[in-house]
Amino acid sequence: MEQKSEKRKKPRGKARLIEGKCIACGARCQISCPVDAIEMNEKEEPVIDIEKCIGCRKCIKVCPADALEIFFTPEEKKLLEDIEASDEPDVETDEEENEDKTRLKTDIKKWNGVWVFVEQVQGKAHEVSWELLGVGRTLANDLGVELAAFVLGDSVKPLAHEAFCYGADKVYLIDHPTLKFYRTISYLKGTVDLINKFKPEIVLMGATGLGRDLAGAVATELKTGLTADCTGLTIDTRMRLLEQTRPAFGGNIMATILTETKRPQMASVRPHVMPKPEYNSGLKGELIEEPFALSEEDIPTRVLEIISTVSESAVNIAGAKILVSGGRGMLSRDNFKMLDELAEIIGGVVTGSRCAVDEGWIDHVRQVGQTGKTVRPKLYIACAISGAIQHLVGMQDSDYIIAINKDKTAPIFEVAHLGIVGDVFEIIPSLIEKLRQAGVKAVE
């Protein structure tokens, strides 16, 4: 009697580097690997751990230089030839792939909760931290998980209480003398220690100078994805993924980015992009204090002194309640004087588009938009600004927008609450005159 042969497992091979072809593109293969089988050497070429490689071919697909290939041992080659010759169905490979996917899902399930980094300088929290707790609350509710804040610093325990009042269920705190001033090494270690121990699925940070430095370092250390300068954060509840939206390709499209196979999912958001939640002094939460093993000798940098500069750079356009903003249509630096005058009467600050900055009419610190500041004033008056997407992303969340433009099709009118089609050189002087006649004065 003929015996039925057992189904044989089709070998998948292992990835390997083809000598001399790698162009050090920036570790795309490493990022794509779902099982962390790739490390980069000092030449930024991949070194593949054969034990870990599952032959999934993801690295091969993303390599822009065709520098990777699949190889089989002589025994595997023979087996492959035999299976192909015998016309056996490819069931085993599918099963193996499913196993890998399941393993990946199980790993991801170990990560839970939404975390917000509370950025502080000398014990004072940056407002962006509380804004992030606002959006963090929505994300945590959508996922049905806890919202936590984490605070690093020296004598910063009172910030934990503040975080509860802005809605955190839990606060993780590392209070240590080496964290008195921000230094990448000490803050990186503190953050990575916390994340590795408690495994949050989402980590949010402010896209400030400090936040940008720390977020990039943490994502690199944890080999996870980071989407910088997000303008929108939502949850795909079916897949439990963070949808990270930000302008891309010079601001011409809005891209929604997912971190599908790595944890935590990391995103940074600029100040004033998200609304700040209400402060509720009655809210309480759980404080978790973590020890920290780092000494000054482990940190090569020393902070000798903090010198604050008082100059044009001290202008805080992001915090101003009224902004009078000018664009290329203002034609000259001299013409900005009428915007200064208007701003003075109504207690506003003068800002502008990138064109106004490029022309040298206003300082860069006053630029609104993608490469300038994001603002959210009570009133934004856009004078002779067309409303390019790179400008809109920086101001479209203002409470009330008045746009003055002589072109009725200008995109700024799409976000304006009040649109005036006309010539700024007629409208602004007449507005100033009317305000003066009415005795309007700026309220401090």
Q: Which is nearer to ligand FAD, 79 or 257 (CB)?
A: 257
User: What minimum distance in Å lies between the beta carbon of 240 and ligand FAD?
Assistant: 32
Q: Which is nearer to ligand FAD, 356 or 431 (CB)?
A: 356
User: What minimum distance in Å lies between the beta carbon of 424 and ligand FAD?
Assistant: 4
Q: Which is nearer to ligand FAD, 17 or 368 (CB)?
A: 368
User: What minimum distance in Å lies between the beta carbon of 414 and ligand FAD?
Assistant: 12
Which region holds residue 323: left if phi is over 0, alpha if psi is between -120 and 50, else beta?
A: beta
Q: Which of 281, 327, 277 is nearest to 127 (CA)?
A: 277
User: What minimum distance in Å lies between the beta carbon of 423 and ligand FAD?
Assistant: 4
Please tell me the distance from the alpha carbon of residue 349 to that of residue 360, in angstroms, as a whole number: 17
Please tell me the distance from the alpha carbon of residue 394 to that of residue 398, in angstroms, as a whole number: 9
User: What minimum distance in Å lies between the beta carbon of 434 and ligand FAD?
Assistant: 18
Q: Which is nearer to ligand FAD, 168 or 330 (CB)?
A: 330
> Which string of b and e fits 190-226 if b means at least 16 CB within 10 Å?
bbebbbeebebbbbbbbbbebbbbbbbbbbeebebbb
Query: Tell me, what DSSP letter sits at residue 312?
Result: G
Contact residues for ligand FAD (CB under 6 A)?
250-251, 327-329, 353-356, 367-372, 384-386, 388, 390-391, 394, 404-407, 410, 423-425
- List strand residue ranges (DSSP E) for 290-372, in order: 322-326, 349-352
User: What minimum distance in Å lies between the beta carbon of 257 and ligand FAD?
Assistant: 17
Contacts of 300 (CB under 8 A, 6+ apart): 185
Backbone phi and psi for residue 148, each to the nearest 5 degrees, phi listed first? -125, 150
Q: Which is nearer to ligand FAD, 181 or 425 (CB)?
A: 425
> Which string of b and e fits 61-75 if b means at least 16 CB within 10 Å?
eebeeebbebeeeee
Q: Which is nearer to ligand FAD, 30 or 370 (CB)?
A: 370
